Amino acid sequence: MSLVVPLLDGLSLALAADDEAARGWPTGRLARGLLLRDGDRELAEEGVGFSVPILKRGLQTIFPGRLALTEHEAGGRRTIAATFQMDLVERLAGRDARSLSSPPLYAAKNALAALHRRAPLLRPPLTGLSNALRHAFGWETTFERTGEAATLVLTSTVGHGGALAVVVDASALPPDAATEVVVMNEQGARAFDRYRDSDGRALDGAAIGTWDEVTAQRASFVCEARRVAFSLPQVEGARLYRGRELIGSRVAWAGFGYTFPAALGAIAYELRIERLPASAWAAASDDLGVAGTTVAP
């Protein structure tokens, strides 16, 4: 089942249970969420889209591999329920395309990934080391199914004009399925290369960082070339992070992630999408540091 939801000014959101556009990326096996389009141009690149869950169990990360969709419309609002099956783990594959099965290797990889998130000053050398090892050994990212699967339901209601009211329901997770839930809201890194927030912070390109906490009440990513922005607020009980990575043809995402303890059960948030007036994106606005007409529900 596939869905296309028109917004305004040529913008739309697309969601597909079988996403052919993602297959050219290493993350192509993941189930993706709502992908932003401007006309016939998809802006997601490697990004997983809006409202996509990831589970953390200690240092282990579990990704969604399958997706089932249902929808209904009432009062001019479309509600889309996306049921994600959390059943994939990241692996490294060698030149023979077979995944490596060394537990110490993955323990080291997960520990270095955690260090990469926590220590911004170490990110350049850690990224360089990762790229060098991948080149030397011919490693590529792949994903394999786990022997177990948890289920999360994310419900997105598209209001008049296009804002998304999202509810993340993790209440059905088994007690030992996860210690933390991460909800990704990301699109492509080449398109969205500018960050702005309500505290007046403005960051471009690599200065945005790969996983840094947002303390402002609201923050946005901006595509100047297409005059498009998306933004998110702080949510009680969760922490909001921003990130952007662009590494050749392997990594190209930009966006936000909410993290919250699995025991919290559920969170809700509103994601806004904007078409910015020509040459006005850099002007200060009342709540984002980005000029534009907010797409409100």
Q: Under DSSP, is residue 287 helix (H, G, I), strand (E, B) or coil?
A: coil
Residue 192 lies in a domain: yes
Residue 125 lies in a domain: no
DSSP string, 125-189: HHHHHHHHHHHHHT-EEEEEEEEEEEEEEEEEEE-TTS-EEEEEE-TTS-TTS-SEEEEEEEE-T
Residue 166 lies in a domain: yes
Please determine, for residue 182, whether its predicted confidence score (pLDDT) is greater than 70.
Answer: yes
Cβ atoms of residues 117 and 204 within 8 Å: no
- What is the per-residue pLDDT across 158-173, written as a single tens digit (0 to 9) for each? 986 668 999 999 999 9
- What is the per-residue pLDDT across 25-48, written as a single tens digit (0 to 9) for each? 777 789 999 999 999 999 999 999
pLDDT for position 58: 85
Higher pLDDT, 140 or 9: 9
- What is the per-residue pLDDT across 85-97, written as a single tens digit (0 to 9) for each? 999 988 777 776 6
- What is the per-residue pLDDT across 104-136, written as a single tens digit (0 to 9) for each? 776 776 677 666 666 676 667 767 777 677 666
Residue 180 lies in a domain: yes
Domain range for 192: 2-89+148-294
Q: What pLDDT band is residue 269 in, cutting at 50, 70 and 90? A: very high
Closest CA to 207 of 199, 196, 218: 196
Provide the whole-model pTM: 0.84
- What is the per-residue pLDDT across 47-88, written as a single tens digit (0 to 9) for each? 999 999 999 998 889 999 999 999 988 877 889 999 999 999
Residue 32 lies in a domain: yes
**Domain harbouring 238, CATH code:** 2.70.98
DSSP string, 197-254: ETT--EEEGGGG-SSEE--SSEEEEEETTTTEEEEEE--TT-EEEEEEEEETTTEEEE
DSSP state of 27: G
Residue 106 lies in a domain: no
> How many domains in the chain?
1
Residue 113 lies in a domain: no
Q: What are phi and psi of 123, to 5 degrees?
A: -60, -45
Residue 142 lies in a domain: no
